[in-house]
Structure 1
């Protein structure tokens, strides 16, 4: 059995960029992936980029035919598009994402590695370059250690060294024929930055009622804020939604926070693409006091497992039809991995040591307070297109803290 592997990589600092593929396609796909992940990560942090996954799967789809192609198109919500239209949309998406923008740094890179002597379709290579601007390089996968070091260097170069040592020599064998790699890197700053001197140690109460100490940022400023109810009190009644723009106003971090006594798991089943649109359309700009943990996280997701549960099964089996890549009938996907990196801090860079005090006026509140001192859900979206490209939740911030400084306790 000849094997075919691809990986989806993401390195992000402070924020990520999003753009629209088609209507709510990416948003709906993001929600589907999120619910699959939370089904297996009962009490764990979650982080992923549906945009990166869509690009990586799109490269595989380009070579799929028959039932293999049908499964991919259905799982990603492309059924409503004409056959092949998604490739033009992905191309436009990538082009818009990498357009010159003074408010952030963004790059997307795709690479195709081929086993020496293994023949693939010239048309497939042409389409890979046309739609994904993929670099094409011949390697010897039987030299696992050498190939791993070589591709790792490419990954590091395209992620500002945020993703390192991704591959090991065991990831490649003489059976490996192709590897597809997608890397996205973004760095941006808040429109209204947190002042490092206002960051303090705060208590964070987890769902099991245990407490941990974390660095908590603070600011009072104008943000988009709203209070919502599930309508049935099943999720504990009212919950808060906060949207914080990044420089340029195009991108924002949207956060959902339940009441202190309500478990996040009670609220999560409500999350749907249509409800996210409702939050975005309903929040109003007003002065808000925000307490937000400073953290960074790097997560690896087994895409083979997630995609299989979404209905993409055949490409991982002996029945795989990847005949648009090669006439070889034994070609199938062996490995599918998504790796993401996100950092949230005061200004998009490492925070400095702090001094000073924050007035903790919980008893006399002049403005709405949003205090993320218990588990919360978040997403990063394009405010113009409403496309979600980053989604996750924070259950254990002590595992994510960017650390490095000592702060006074509140």
Structure 2
């Protein structure tokens, strides 16, 4: 029987958003809606597991990209589970192409800045990485693979960020996948069926935007989050209902930092075998791989620039009498998204 090794997957993210006025331009549809469906499932499960009293930020896209990588590197029941949970309905190479286009989307951004990098660190005691996997991960996911010591020594400190080390790195661990995303970066719609109001803040000259869902009731956050997992409340459908109008926007400065173990959430969604000794992740290294954990560190920081006004130029001295107001003075859901994928999503309880 082939020996098993353990793998630890991690995603790191940091998001900085500067509120700004922009012309809403129709963006190119860069990825199929299976990405949005996965984001909705993951978000609902994570909101059940995470602290509901604090601010929460997570990157569904980063987790999904990991699953897409595992999808290509798996076989048997492991592949089937990853396919079902990831909503992958086509060949792994075509799925990888979708992620490649979205990852490279940052090259076409102008005013919005999106920087991201990913790496796989593996225990050098294991020998060499599967060369075909290495080529695949670099070409489609822009992920480099680097051997390191996993003993907590100087080499570990040099290559692995402190948060990863503090999560419990030890010499028997085999591999770590890290992802780091940095963003430097307005329609409105009433949603009576969600008892909420939606606001979209486009990034300048970009199809990327921040979507804010504000419950109409002070205690309506939990109910809103439960409904967002339903297909009829897909974020794309919500965004398509937005229409440009005169809006006075008051959005406070807010931030959220989350270190999240995604393992239990993914198990709840149906990923099981790859976390056991029966794992059929066979193509990542030159031996079968058991996934021990999938961890993510994500943060978002939105700067406060006072009350913003949509539709008129920023230097207008007065607002028309019929302009609407959007005041985020109670807990809300936010999502940083492209037309068909959710890069970062969470909720803010305490701005």
Q: Scaled by the length of structure 2, what TM-score is found?
A: 0.83
Partner of 2:315: none
| Cα distance, 1:6–1:291 mapped onto 2, change above 3 Å | same
Deviation at 1:13, TM superposition (A): 0.7
Q: Is the 8 A contact 2:249 2:325 kept in 1?
A: yes
1:9 and 1:63 map into 2 onto residues whose CA distance is 22
| Unmatched tracts of structure 2, length 5 or more | 20-26, 307-318
1:394 and 1:19 map into 2 onto residues whose CA distance is 29
2:166 and 2:216 map into 1 onto residues whose CA distance is 47
Q: Scaled by the length of structure 1, what TM-score is found?
A: 0.72
Q: How does 1:23-102 map to 2 (within 5 A)?
A: 23-41=32-50, 42-78=52-88, 80-97=89-106, 99-102=107-110
SS in 2 for 1:67: helix
Q: After the TM superposition, which segments of 4 or more aligned residues of structure 1 sit over 6 Å from their partners?
A: none
| Cα distance, 1:282–1:101 mapped onto 2, change above 3 Å | closer
SS in 2 for 1:300: strand
1:125 and 1:251 map into 2 onto residues whose CA distance is 30
| Cα distance, 1:84–1:368 mapped onto 2, change above 3 Å | same
Deviation at 1:147, TM superposition (A): 4.3
Q: Over the residues paired in the alignment, what is the CA RMSD in angstroms?
A: 2.7
| Cα distance, 1:386–1:3 mapped onto 2, change above 3 Å | closer
2:18 and 2:77 map into 1 onto residues whose CA distance is 37
Number of matched residues?
Answer: 325
Q: Is the 8 A contact 1:55 1:182 kept in 2?
A: no
| Cα distance, 1:281–1:328 mapped onto 2, change above 3 Å | closer
Q: How does 1:91-240 map to 2 (within 5 A)?
A: 91-97=100-106, 99-119=107-127, 120-141=129-150, 143-152=151-160, 165-168=162-165, 171-188=168-185, 223-230=186-193, 238-240=195-197
SS in 1 for 2:77: helix
2:197 and 2:291 map into 1 onto residues whose CA distance is 42
Match status 1:394 vs 2:327: no
Deviation at 1:169, TM superposition (A): 6.2
Give the number of the structure with larger relative contact order, counting CA–CA contacts within 8 Å between residues 6 or more apart.
Answer: 2
Partner of 1:353: none
2:332 and 2:169 map into 1 onto residues whose CA distance is 38
Q: Is the 8 A contact 2:118 2:143 kept in 1?
A: yes
Q: Is the 8 A contact 1:15 1:342 kept in 2?
A: no
Structure number with bigger Rg = 1
Partner of 2:281: 322
Structure that is richer in helix per residue: 2
| Cα distance, 1:21–1:314 mapped onto 2, change above 3 Å | farther
